A and B are shown apart, each in its own frame.
Chain A
Amino acid sequence: MADLADLTVATAGERLATGEASAADLLDAVIRRASLTEAELHCYVTIDHDGARRAAEESDHRRSRSESRGPLDGIPLALKDNFCTRGLETTCSSQILSGYRPPYDSTVVARLRDGGAVIVGKTNLDEFAMGSSTENSAFGPTRNPWNPERVPGGSSGGSAAAVAAGSALAAFGSDTGGSIRQPAALCGVVGFKPTYGLVSRFGLVAFSSSFDQIGPLARSVADALTLFEAVAGHDPLDATSYPGTVPEARPSLETGVKDVRIGLVRELSGEGYEPAVTAATNDMVAQLEASGAIVSEVSLPSFAIALSAYYLIAPAEVSANLARFDGVRYGLRVTGETVEEMMARTRAEGFGPEATRRILLGTYALSAGYYDAFYGQAQRVRTKLINELANVFEQVDVLVSPASPTTAFELGAKTQDPLAMYLTDVCTIPANLAGTPAISIPVGLDADGLPIGFQVMGPALGEARLFQVAAEVERLATFDHRPEILAAAGDRL
């Protein structure tokens, strides 16, 4: 029998239901896995041993009285460390929030607790979710379970690596420019960014408010949907929360792709794309066509300038969102002779280089005299991209592309070159600009044994069609590889 730590959420749920395993068993399994892998991988900033134990016991108690609360009751999950958790340290992997314990749970956390989920701990991220490799963490980088010399991607690298390594059965992350899908691709797991507004952002420490969206990282498309369903739906505490009904996607998981119109995005290929990535993408497209999909190549010219627009709008919002970290009310305080000096010192010492860079970029982009050329122009690009996407979705049902132009790169490879690092998000950023849903599914390995992610993008609220295609991609890919580190760990188990 496979280690419980390697189960999907669905299978673990079955074991719980039949009594073959308890929530405490599942928690033991992932905690043991973590104890074997954390020293090397560093997926977690905080493991909540006591809280998780208590939650697992409560879950088992409920189950013994047939009061179980649904598919996540008793399932050990990990949360990116930018979700506020009441009384549990929430750092955003930043010195400036080191030791900060929020007085409230984010809406997503509250819904997970209501559903009986066992929150194992808080995973590592690029500081305030700004980065693509999880190297911008004040507490040290997370490493890729497929090869610890490689990055797990980012910014939800801790969540992606934990799911790949088995130190959680599934996890939540946040996706502002690809921060769920890109690390999912690099770690060989499924990563889903829902339509903007379907999952409440209340209690998610803001990076770029108009892009941020919470979503799951999981071992299967079905698990990703289960996690999404558990937290989606209108929240009166988030004014940008979608007030309508959440699209019903589960029935379409088994539908197949016959006559589904699929557009391959021309702009997300060519120079800068690893041949193995391009080959895997084209191969999957051919398989989808063989399964009955109607495939065409489509062009979205704005995709070519989406990255530039993103790196003006997102930092602009960052410059305001991160202004509140000033040492006055919570978090780090470095004293000074005056209030202004205290604030300046706190911020200078509290923020790492990438956070500082983006605050400066954003402040500049919004400054008098530059606003229209930078921020204003970027918003016009965003509008143009939204219109282009809307037109394309008249012709095709979904768009497909690689989820990342490369597989996992080595630690340190891009840390001295911010622009090269920003380019790793080129495939994922358009969906954030448009607020549309997108998912990454692992479809194969490159010659170095590193996972390749395939992205499916849908129109706003097009989750049903998105999951329909994603499920078919998963079936066709039959991705059942495991990181070597687990094989090694398995020997020790």
Chain B
Amino acid sequence: MTDWEPVVGIEVHVELKTASKMFCGCAVSFGEDPNTNICPVCLGLPGALPVANAAALESIVRIGLALHCQIAPQSVFHRKNYFYADLPKNFQVSQFDSPVAINGWLDINLDGTSNRVGIERAHMEEDTGKSLHQGGGGRIHSATSTRLDFNRSGVPLVEIVSRPDLRSAAEARAYAQDLRALIAELDVSDARMEEGSIRFDANVSVRPVGAGELGTKVEIKNMNSFRSLERAVASEIERQIALLEGGSRVIQETRHWDEEAGSTRSMRTKEGSSDYRYFTEPDLLPLVFAADTVDRLHSDLPELPADRRSRFEGMGVAAGTARVLAMTDPELRRIFTEAVAAGSDPMTTAIWVTGELTAVLRKTPSSKVAGVGLAGLLAMVKEGKLSSSAAKEVLTEMVASGDEASVVAERLDLLLVSDTNAIEAAVTEVLAAQPHAVARYRSGEEKVIGFLVGLVMRSTGGKADPKLVNETLRRQLVG
């Protein structure tokens, strides 16, 4: 039986959050009443002409640089011709053989191992309007009428095309997540999958392991979460392997991911080969990126998630935690950095920040936690003044009140008793009351110690430092 190797490439469409659209002055804005942000240009009225948005071009150059691409010194817009009711000019201004950015890479991290994924290109284009099909379950072929909203028409769109370097559904998901984190870091897009401001399509093929040539690829669309991307790719891989093992062929086509059915279905029945008749957009001049501008944008790039991940790993944070921390909210990362600067252990801090603190802040958003405060809390745990579970309680209250850990612990009466005299007395009392247990311990049954620790803890109301109780018990039992 043949072993199959999946080959996956991802195409990403990123809607930029520039103030205005790609080729006109209309606002880029989500969730407004239909056809409120429109003008002759983005409606494709006769005589209207495009003027390229400099801020959008700067964004794509930054994306290209962050993906280690070469920025073309000169790049050209093309017209991609096809008829569709929500495409007002019946051509899309895009880029064909002269994209802004080419030949880059993104290091992704999956289960602690790093993997370099090639980036073929990133190019600039404009988004289409939206068709809102009325009746017939919202499907175009059964709808009774269709309404058109052109608010999205002309929103700047960056398409990023990876090389077919991904080898599993999990890798596809990791790539998508890491790329999304990079886009978010650059602050060029809302990058929300559910709103469609970042959209992933996957090109999937399979081939026998060791084969040099690629199999026939299928493009899958309509995945609106990372989970559905992973599921869709996995399902498509399975479908193709089943076809090939059954002696059939894979047909080159576009397939639609059906979230409920958990499978892909053919989307374009009469696919044929679409001929977009690309040609140079005569209404726009070639884009020229001066070397000093590109250099400036390069040096102004923020620290990127992959680099940050390496930095955290270098500090001693485990790979998986470092990945989560590298992609998390900047506010949480600030707290992490401050806490470590205040003396906390990086790995322990990272676990707290990506775990408990993330959970608490998700429930109760607050800006009252400082890194120093977290460092104080972790120090109390380390010094035996707080148990881990009590520390979680303290953290919740710190977030709510903004008070220091020691103050909160005291107020909530959660401080561990580390007064040796009190513990000595409590231990003595417990041992006196439990001669049978003492005898069993002394005869070598060491696990009885747990029972005794429990009793001491109960008698101190749970506030004794368990470590100290354990030590004191052992000493008195020997003595």
Q: In the bound complex, do residue A323 and residue B90 qualify as a contact, i.e. CB atoms below 8 Å apart?
A: yes
Contact (Cβ within 8 A) B284 A202: no
Is A189 engaged at the interface, CB distance under 8 Å to the other chain?
A: no
Q: Which B-chain residue is minimally distant from A362 (CB atoms)? A: B277
B277 touches A319 (CB 8 A): yes
Q: Is B275 a contact partner of A367 (Cβ separation < 8 A)?
A: yes
B46 x A97 contact (CB < 8 A): yes
CA distance A438 to B148 in the complex (A): 45
Closest residue to B24 on the A side, CB-wise? A237
A320 pairs with B46, CB closer than 8 A: no
Stretch at the interface among B37-45, B112-120, B245-253, B302-310: B37-45
Assess the B47–A324 pair: CB atoms within 8 A: no
- Say if the beta carbon of B180 comes within 8 Å of chain A: no
Judged by a CB distance under 8 angstroms, whether A236 is at the interface is yes
- In the complex, the answer to whether A375 meets B279 with C-beta atoms within 8 Å is yes
Most A-side CB within 10 Å, residue of B40, B47, B88: B47
- Return the contact of A210 from the options B46, B275, B282 (Cβ within 8 A): B282
Within 8 A of A (CB), among B84-132: 85, 88-91
A393 at the interface (CB under 8 A from B): no
CA A90 – CA B52 in complex, angstroms? 27
A326-B45 in contact (CB<8A): no
The reply on A317 being an interface residue by CB < 8 A is yes
Distance of A422 Cα from B9 Cα, bound (Å): 49
B148 touches A323 (CB 8 A): no
List of A residues within 8 angstroms of B146 by Cβ: 339
With beta carbons under 8 angstroms apart, the residue of B45, B83, B275 that contacts A340 is B83
List residues of chain A with CB within 8 A of the CB of B81: 319-320, 323, 366
C-alpha spacing A179/B79, complex, angstroms: 26
B44 near A202 (CB under 8 angstroms)? no
Asked if residues A240 and B285 are in contact (CB atoms below 8 Å), the reply is: yes
Whether the pair B52, A103 counts as a contact (CB closer than 8 A) is: no
Give A205 to B49 CA distance when docked, in angstroms: 10
Answer whether residue A239 sits at the interface, using C-beta atoms and an 8 A cutoff: yes
Q: In the bound complex, what is the Cα–Cα distance between A203 and B40 (angstroms)?
A: 9
Given contacts A102-B46, A205-B47, contact A328 B282 (CB under 8 A): no
Encoded as 1 (CB less than 8 Å from any A CB) or 0, chain B from 298 to 320 comes to 00000000000000000000000
CB B92 to nearest CB in A, in angstroms, measures 10
The verdict on A201 contacting chain B, using a C-beta distance below 8 Å, is: yes
CA distance A204 to B284 in the complex (A): 16
Q: B284 — nearest CB in chain A belongs to which residue?
A: A239
Cβ-based interface call for A363 (8 A): yes
Residues of A within 8 A of B422 (CB): none
Q: Nearest-CB distance from B84 to chain A (Å)?
A: 9
Bound CA–CA A445/B443 (angstroms): 134
Expressed in whole angstroms, the Cα–Cα distance for A83 and B278 within the complex equals: 27
Query: How many of chain A's residues have a CB under 8 angstroms from any CB in B?
Result: 45
- The verdict on B51 contacting chain A, using a C-beta distance below 8 Å, is yes
Q: Is the CB of A329 within 8 A of B284?
A: no
B48 in contact (CB, < 8 A): yes
A59 shortest CB reach to chain B, Å? 26
List the A side residues contacting B48 at CB < 8 Å. Answer: 202-203
Min distance, Cβ B252 to any Cβ of chain A, angstroms: 16
In the complex the two chains form, what is the Cα distance from A439 to B49 in whole Å?
26
Nearest Cβ on chain A to B323's Cβ, whole angstroms: 43
B residues near A328, Cβ cutoff 8 Å: 85, 88, 148
A90 and B46 contact, CB distance less than 8 A: yes
Q: Which of B88, B90, B282 has the most CB of A within 10 A?
A: B282
Does the CB pair A323–B83 fall under 8 Å? yes
Tell me which residues across on chain B come within 8 A of A104, comparing CB atoms: 40, 45
| B80 to A, closest residue via Cβ | A320
Q: Is B295 an interface residue (CB 8 A)?
A: no
For B46, list chain A residues within 8 Å (CB).
Answer: 84, 90, 92, 97, 100, 102, 205-206, 324-325
Q: How far is the CA of A181 from the CA of B378 in the complex (A)?
A: 85
Complex Cα spacing A316 to B278, Å: 10
**In-complex Cβ contact of B52 among A205, A237, A239, A330 (8 A):** A239
Whether, in the assembled complex, B283 has its beta carbon less than 8 Å from a beta carbon of chain A, the answer is yes
**Interface flag for A3 (CB, 8 Å):** no
Render B263-275 as a binary contact track against A, CB cut-off 8 A, 1 for contact. 0000000000101
Cα–Cα, bound, A202→B41 (Å): 10
Q: Are A363 and B277 within 8 A (Cβ)? A: yes
Question: Which residues of B lie under 8 Å from residue A97 when comparing CB positions?
Answer: 46
A102:B45 contact, CB within 8 angstroms = yes
Whether B91 contacts A323 by the Cβ 8 Å rule is yes
Interface centre among A239, A316, A317, A339 (most CB of B within 10 A): A239
Q: Which single member of B52, B79, B273 contacts A320 (CB below 8 Å)?
A: B79
Closest to A211 in B: B282
Complex partner residue of B47 from A206, A323, A363, CB under 8 angstroms: A206
Q: Is the CB of A239 within 8 A of B85?
A: no
Cβ contact within 8 Å between A103 and B85: no
Knowing A319-B81, A366-B279 are in contact, say whether A203-B88 is a contact too (CB < 8 A): no
Residue A209, interface by CB 8 Å? yes
Residues of A within 8 A of B47 (CB): 82-84, 102, 106, 202-206
Residues of chain A within 8 A (CB-CB) of B40 are 102-104
Partner of A329, one of B44, B83, B278, B285: B44
Q: State the Cβ distance, A321 to closest chain B Cβ, in Å.
A: 9
Residues of chain B within 8 A (CB-CB) of A102 are: 40, 45-47
Cα(A84)–Cα(B45), bound, Å? 10
Binary interface encoding of chain B residues 329-353 relative to chain A, with 1 for a CB under 8 A from any of its CBs, else 0: 0000000000000000000000000
Q: In the complex, what distance in Å separates the CA atom of A375 from the CA atom of B81?
A: 15
**In the complex, A201→B50 CA distance in Å?**
11
Is A237 in contact with B275, judged by CB distance below 8 angstroms? no
**Which of B52, B83, B282 is within 8 Å of A326, CB to CB?**
B83
How far is B81's CA from A83's CA once the two chains are assembled, in angstroms?
Answer: 25
Closest to A342 in B: B85
Complex CA distance for A144 and B146, rounded to whole angstroms: 48
Distance, CA A61 to CA B389, complexed state (A): 87
In the complex, the answer to whether A330 meets B45 with C-beta atoms within 8 Å is yes
How close is A77's CB to chain B, nearest CB, in angstroms? Answer: 19
Residues from chain B with a CB closer than 8 A to the CB of A205 are 46-47
Query: Please, which residues of chain B bring their CB within 8 A of the CB of A92?
Result: 46
Q: Which residues of B contact A320 (CB under 8 A)?
A: 79, 81, 89-91, 277, 279
Q: Taking A102-B45, A326-B83, A339-B146 as contacts, is the C-beta distance between A366 and B285 under 8 angstroms?
A: no
- 26 of the cross-chain contacts (CB-CB < 8 Å) are A84-B47, A102-B40, A102-B46, A102-B47, A104-B45, A201-B49, A203-B48, A205-B47, A206-B47, A208-B282, A209-B283, A210-B282, A238-B51, A240-B282, A240-B283, A317-B279, A317-B282, A323-B81, A323-B89, A324-B44, A326-B83, A326-B90, A330-B45, A343-B83, A368-B273, A368-B275
Residues of B bordering A, CB below 8 Å: 40, 43-52, 79, 81, 83, 85, 88-91, 146, 148, 273, 275, 277-279, 282-285
With A106-B47, A240-B282 given, name 4 new contacts (CB 8 A).
A82-B47, A240-B283, A316-B279, A320-B90
Ranked nearest first, the 3 interchain pairs of A and B with the lowest CB-CB distance are: A323-B90, A366-B277, A210-B282
